[in-house]
Amino acid sequence: MVDLGVFDFLNDIKEKGLVKNIGFSFHDEYSAFEEIIKSYPWDFCQIQLNYLDINYQAGMKGYNLAKDMGIPMVIMEPVKGGRLANPPEEIKNSLKEFTDLSPAQEALKFPLSLDNVMVVLSGMNDIDQVRENLEIASEVSYNSLTKEDESFYENARKIYKSREQIGCTACEYCLPCTVEINIPKVFGLWNKAYLYDEEEKSKTDYQEYLKDGVSPTECIECGKCEGICPQNLEIIEDLKEANEYLA
């Protein structure tokens, strides 16, 4: 991108007043993050961050680097594509022990409390979610996490880690698959079986999917999906494993 003159272009549009703030959005390994953030005087940058993904992609290491460089951050996936809004029962129960906040609110509290975060992006499907998010965003101030919050996050990380089969966030960047396998659907069912103790339901739903959907056994191993997966998943092998379990 540097060889293509992207920075000259960015400087030009900024000088002309067409754009006030220049930033980049990021999904990759930490080393790439460090290279990119140090390559230009960015006004901001955007990463995936939530209480589960502190050591994933840029993670907290990337957050701290951006903070040291004085580059404010936009946070995406604060509720991990909705997953942290509906965690396993044992996580919900541990939350109820110290707060009335919903699981989604407790998840949002994590990035909202980081003092180098200027925006937390969260997808909302209905007005109740808008209200819920506004409520927590109004309440949380920088550096306000309590010991209870910290130990809740730590405990939840351990529980999720022990249950998750694959780190697919259902972003759908891998679609369309060359033979039209619904990759996030298959991985989602595989994960749900473990995350929510829904083995039978996932297997039934998988049979439903196979009625109209393409089976992972049809994969021709073209590799198109793996190169664009922001989570760097080994989709071809993982699909085989998911199918073996679900079918």
Residues that bind ligand SF4 (CB under 6 A): 168-174, 177-179, 181, 183-184, 187, 219-225, 229, 231, 233, 235-236, 239
Return the closest-CA partner of residue 206 out of 189, 223, 220.
189
Distance (Å, whole) CA 112 – CA 125: 20
Residue 99 tokens read as 């707060």
E strands, the chain, where?
A: 23-26, 44-48, 73-76, 117-120
User: Which residues, including other chains, have CB under 8 Å from residue 9's CB and lie 6 or more apart?
Assistant: none
Residue (154 or 237) nearer to ligand SF4, CB: 237
Residue (27 or 109) nearer to ligand SF4, CB: 27
Distance (Å, whole) CA 22 – CA 124: 26
Kindly state the smallest distance separating residue 187's Cβ from ligand SF4, in Å: 6
Residue (113 or 165) nearer to ligand SF4, CB: 165
Residue (36 or 170) nearer to ligand SF4, CB: 170
Kindly state the smallest distance separating residue 223's Cβ from ligand SF4, in Å: 5
Kindly state the smallest distance separating residue 164's Cβ from ligand SF4, in Å: 13
Residue (139 or 172) nearer to ligand SF4, CB: 172
Residue (6 or 179) nearer to ligand SF4, CB: 179
Distance (Å, whole) CA 182 – CA 187: 9
Residue 21 tokens read as 């703030």
Exposure letters 203-227 (e unless 16+ CB within 10 A, then b): eebbeebbeeebebeebeeeeebbe
Contact 136, 101 (CB under 8 A): yes
Residue (73 or 177) nearer to ligand SF4, CB: 177
Contact 152, 98 (CB under 8 A): yes
Kindly state the smallest distance separating residue 58's Cβ from ligand SF4, in Å: 16
